[in-house]
Amino acid sequence: MVVPLPDSFRRTAVQAGDVRINTVVAGDGPPLLLLHGYPQTHLIWHRVAPLLAARHTVVLTDLRGYGDSGKPAGGPGHEAYAKRAMAADQVRVMRELGFDRFAVAGHDRGGRVAHRLALDHPAAVRALAVLDIVPTRHAFRHVDKAFAEGYFHWFFLTAGGGVPEHLIGGDPDFWVRTRMNSRHSGGAAFDPAAVDEYVRCFADPAAIHASCEDYRAAATVDLEHDEEDARRGNRIEVPLLAMWGEHGFVGRHYDVPAVWREYASDVRALPLPTDHYVPEEAPERTAAALDEFISG
């Protein structure tokens, strides 16, 4: 059973170039794009979006390769799942909906897409919120034993020869539930129907492959793009809100505000008493923080 969103939330499929993006829209007011992470779908925002829709037009999408969005096959260079390509999808979606400039908030992989979106399309973004991440470039440049243990999937999912696809495909239900349950503490419990929906979407072999390509891109072409931005001195110039779970790896392992100040000029910071899945573990506080940030 799919987690119900209010009847005011309307579902559509937006053609963004050669990829169809599953999209849900509700509310009235300044536009806010909400992007999900791994191994989830737009439904990670199911407790947050109705609260924000009272004052904003909220747009929830499934990233390419995830949920009910299109799943390109990918290729040797992994460019089909570069954050640059995924960010361009989202800009096209917002333009199709009539929004040339908007705020964007992304959790986990969605935060990395949102970061790239703000770098590649600065005229489109008026505010950026990133949830429970530090920049990909920083994470890879500071790998240690704790990171390798806590984020082992970053390396497992990049393996070639179809190895992660084969192993995850043997029991995707186990993989999704184990990944999520191992990174949850201190907040509200997951909605079982939401988790069932994540499993339904992720059980598609094309989704498993696409998500592996997402991580392969992060370790290759995404890093090339990030290093080029660093060489050019490109930074996020719009206001950036970094939110993170103080019980999770990010909160315990990094000085999150200090890291983001290396990449952005105007950083606000907010730790929350959660683990990784901030929008599901602390929805009211997440919604209130986002509302205050983008309304300010």
Q: What is the mean pLDDT of the chain?
A: 96
Give the per-residue pLDDT at 2.
65
Round to whole Å and give the CA distance between 65 and 84: 14
Give the per-residue pLDDT at 58.
98
Round to whole Å and give the CA distance between 220 and 188: 36
| Within a domain: 247 | yes
Q: Is 99 or 182 the better-scoring residue by pLDDT?
A: 99
| Within a domain: 4 | no
Give the per-residue pLDDT at 192.
94
H-helix or E-strand spanning residue 240 = strand 240-245
Name the residue range of residue 275's domain. 10-295
| Within a domain: 2 | no
| Within a domain: 124 | yes
pLDDT tens sequence across 84-99: 999 999 999 999 999 9
| Within a domain: 5 | no
Q: What is the dihedral of CA 239, 286, 87, 211, to 10 degrees?
A: 140
pLDDT tens sequence across 209-249: 999 999 999 999 999 999 999 999 999 999 999 999 999 99
| Within a domain: 193 | yes
Task: Report the percentage of the chain scoring pLDDT > 90.
Answer: 94
Catalogue the active-site residues.
108, 276
CATH of the domain at 122: 3.40.50.1820
What Cα–Cα distance (Å) separates residue 164 from each residue in 15, 93, 174?
29, 31, 14
Q: How confident is the model at residue 1 (pLDDT cuts 50, 70, 90)?
A: very low
pLDDT tens sequence across 132-165: 999 999 999 999 999 999 999 999 999 999 999 9
- Number of domains the chain contains: 1
Q: Is the pLDDT of residue 75 over 90?
A: no
Q: Is the pLDDT of residue 111 over 90?
A: yes
In our burial notation (b when 16+ CB lie closer than 10 A, e otherwise), range 32-52 reads bbbbbbbbbbbbbbbbbbbbb
| Within a domain: 284 | yes
| Within a domain: 145 | yes
Q: How confident is the model at residue 296 (pLDDT cuts 50, 70, 90)?
A: confident
Give the per-residue pLDDT at 236.
98
